[in-house]
């Protein structure tokens, strides 16, 4: 449904995008993830035809964005980070206005708008002025406007920014439902949102793709599985000394003291296996300090994101130095 090949965008000597290539299929929610300035918004603006690329190809449902922009725009619904709402209008009038602006050819205008309002849960506020709606409902109105005409592709830029936890859950639920029969590209800084909603993730940094994979595969491939939370009945300095002398332990962080022992976060260079856990048990038992709590911690998507983008930054720095 969405095909992006060697997408490049330059501003003078600065490359905002550097040969991006990825696809997104029907029924897939693709997460576009990256730090500020990575090129996420530039990518979305090119896909929607808002700006042009320097080189490369973007196709929506087989139509080239540059060669057939009208056909492409018929197939895209776009929700920018700040929805372009006319806040002095009531919800229903605004959606009628957008409907006419899009030149939608649905047989029954009224029925279509009602259907979209029900889909995103704003039918109960259809007669209210947009200015008087909460941030969450304003976001839903923007989403409804993007959905008018039933476009098969949705581009959502930070769809839950500024929402409270309840509103975030509600919008996520709507997006998941919409993704069942559409192609969705979702940009977000909220990593829990990406892992909760998206089927696949493209992480970009400084205009380049760092990694592209499913969230499950990312967790399996890049999750270290090498962190432990330990509570040991002993003196802080002695426990720390023992831990730092165990082969395979990379770092030890003191968390705090409890009535029955001291807590440490332990990071290892090796994957934590049963034999390693046994080793810890026997070492502390021999020193008369029983382990009271031992819990393995999986790396979060946030940890993986930071690790991958840091690697990308170091690689780019090395390339720049080598090119001087």
In a domain, 309, yes or no: no
Q: Could you tell me the CATH number of the domain that includes residue 81?
A: 3.40.50.300
Instruction: Give kind and range of the element (H or E) at residue 153.
Output: strand 153-157
> Does residue 306 lie in a domain region?
no
281 falls within a domain: yes
83 and 139 fall within a common domain: yes
| Measured CA distances, 235 to 3, 56, 231, 245, 285 (Å) | 59, 62, 11, 16, 14
- Is residue 143 a contact partner of residue 98, using CB atoms and an 8 Å limit? no
pLDDT tens digits in sequence order for the chain, 324 residues long: 899 999 999 998 888 999 999 999 999 999 988 887 888 889 999 999 889 999 999 999 999 999 999 899 889 999 988 888 999 999 999 999 999 999 888 778 999 999 999 988 899 999 999 999 988 899 899 999 999 999 999 999 888 877 788 888 888 888 888 888 899 999 877 777 787 889 898 988 888 898 888 877 776 666 555 678 899 999 999 999 999 998 888 889 999 998 889 999 988 776 666 788 888 899 999 999 999 998 876 555 666 667 667 666 666 555 555 654
Q: State whether 100 and 189 are in the same domain.
A: yes
Give the residue numbers spanning the domain of 279: 224-297
Domain boundary among 221, 236, 269: 221
- Same domain for 189 and 231: no
User: Considering the domain boundaries, does residue 217 fall inside one?
Assistant: yes
Whether residues 189 and 242 fall in one domain: no
242 and 192 in a common domain: no
CA angle 107/109/112 to nearest 5° reads: 95
Name the domain count of the chain. Answer: 2
pLDDT confidence of residue 118: 92
Q: Are residues 280 and 217 in the same domain?
A: no
**Are residues 174 and 36 part of one domain?**
yes
pTM: 0.71
Q: Are residues 105 and 248 both part of a single domain? A: no
Helix, strand or coil, per DSSP, at residue 294: strand
- Cα 234 to its chain centre, rounded Å, is 42
Where is the domain boundary, 164, 194, 221? 221
Is 319 part of any domain? no
Q: Say yes or no: 181 and 245 in one domain.
A: no
Closest C-alpha to 203, from 16, 22, 1 = 22
Same domain, 186 and 54: yes
């Amino acid at each position: 449904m969405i095909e992006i090949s060697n997408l490049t965008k330059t501003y003078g000597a600065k490359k905002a995008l550097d040969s991006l290539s990825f696809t997104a299929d029907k029924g897939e929610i693709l997460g576009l993830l990256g730090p500020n300035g990575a090129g996420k918004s530039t990518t979305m603006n090119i896909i929607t035809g808002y700006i042009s690329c320097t080189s490369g190809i973007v196709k929506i449902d087989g139509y080239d964005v540059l060669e057939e922009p009208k056909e492409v725009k018929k197939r895209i619904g776009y929700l920018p980070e700040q929805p372009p709402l006319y806040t002095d209008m009531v919800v229903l009038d605004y959606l009628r206005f957008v409907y006419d602006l899009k030149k939608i050819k649905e047989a029954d205008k009224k029925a279509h708008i009602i259907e979209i309002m029900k889909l995103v849960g704003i039918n109960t506020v259809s007669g209210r002025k947009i200015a008087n709606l909460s941030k969450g409902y304003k976001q839903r109105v923007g989403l409804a406007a993007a959905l008018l005409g039933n476009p098969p592709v949705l581009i959502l830029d930070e769809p839950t920014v500024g929402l409270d936890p309840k509103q975030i859950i509600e919008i996520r639920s709507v997006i998941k439902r919409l993704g069942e029969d559409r192609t969705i590209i979702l940009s977000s800084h909220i990593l829990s949102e990406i892992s909760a909603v998206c089927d696949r993730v493209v992480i970009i940094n400084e205009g380049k793709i760092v990694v592209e994979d499913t969230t499950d595969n990312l967790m399996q491939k890049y999750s270290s599985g090498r962190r432990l939370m330990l509570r040991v009945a002993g003196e802080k300095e002695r426990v720390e000394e023992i831990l730092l002398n165990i082969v395979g332990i990379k770092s030890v962080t003191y968390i705090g003291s409890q009535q029955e022992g001291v807590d440490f976060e332990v990071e290892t260079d090796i994957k934590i296996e049963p034999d390693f856990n046994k080793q810890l048990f026997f070492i502390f038992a021999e020193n008369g300090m029983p382990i009271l709590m031992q819990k393995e911690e999986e790396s979060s998507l946030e940890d993986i994101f930071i690790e991958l983008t840091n690697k990308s930054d170091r690689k780019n720095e090395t390339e720049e130095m080598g090119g001087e």
